[in-house]
A and B are shown apart, each in its own frame.
Chain A
Amino acid sequence: MAIADQKMQDFSERLTTVNEIKGRSLWQDAFRRFFKNKAAFASLIVLAAVVLFTFIGPYFAVWSNEEIDWSVLGQVPTKGIPSFETGHFFGTDDLGRDLYSRVIQGTQVSLLVGIIGAGIAVLVGTFYGAVAGYFGGRVDSAMMRTVDILLAIPYMFILILLLMVFGRSVLMLFVGIGLVSWLGMARIVRGQTLSIKNKEFVEAALVTGVHPFTIIFRHIVPNLLGVVAVYATLLVPEMILTESFISFLGLGVQEPNTSWGALISQGASTIQYGTLWQLAFPLFFFVISLFSFYFIGDGLRDALDPKDR
Chain B
Amino acid sequence: MNALLEIRGIKKTFPVRKGLFQRVKGHVNAVRDVTVDIERGTTLGLVGESGCGKSTLAKVLVGLYPPSEGEIRFNGKPIIRAEATERIDTARSIQIVFQDPYSSLDPRLPIWRSIAEGLSIHHEGDASTLWRRVGEILELVGLPPNAADRYPHEFSGGQRQRIGVARALIMDPEFIICDEPTSALDVSVQAQILNLLKRLQEELNLTLLFISHNLSVIRHVADKVMVMYLGAVVEIAPARQLFNAPLHPYTRALLSATPIADPKLRGRRIKLEGELPSPINPPPGCTFHPRCPLANDRCKREEPRLKPKGDASVACHAVEEGRTE
Binding site for B on A (CB under 8 A): 18, 21-26, 199-201, 203-210, 218-219, 222-223, 308-309
Contacts and interface: CB of A to CB of B under 8 A. Distances in A.
Contacts of B154: 18, 23-24
B62 to A, nearest CB: 5
A308 B154 CA distance: 12
B106 A223 contact: yes
B12 to A, nearest CB: 16
Given A24-B151, A24-B154, A25-B108, A207 B96 contact: yes
A218 B109 CA distance: 9
Contact of B103 (A26, A201, A210, A308): A201
A26 B117 CA distance: 20
Given A209-B122, A210-B117, 14 more contacts: A18-B154, A22-B149, A24-B154, A26-B108, A199-B103, A200-B99, A204-B114, A204-B164, A207-B63, A207-B96, A218-B106, A218-B109, A222-B108, A223-B108
A201 B104 contact: yes
Interface in B164-199: 164, 167, 171
Nearest to A207: B62
B114 to A, nearest CB: 7
Contact of B104 (A24, A204, A209, A308): A204
Contacts of A308: 153
Nearest to B147: A23
B236 interface: no
B146 interface: yes
Contacts of A219: 106, 108-109
B51 interface: no
Contacts of B92: 208-209
Contacts of B106: 201, 218-219, 222-223
B83 to A, nearest CB: 20
A204 B92 CA distance: 12
A203 B167 CA distance: 13
Nearest to B98: A200
9 contacts: A25-B108, A200-B99, A205-B117, A207-B62, A208-B171, A209-B121, A219-B106, A308-B153, A309-B152
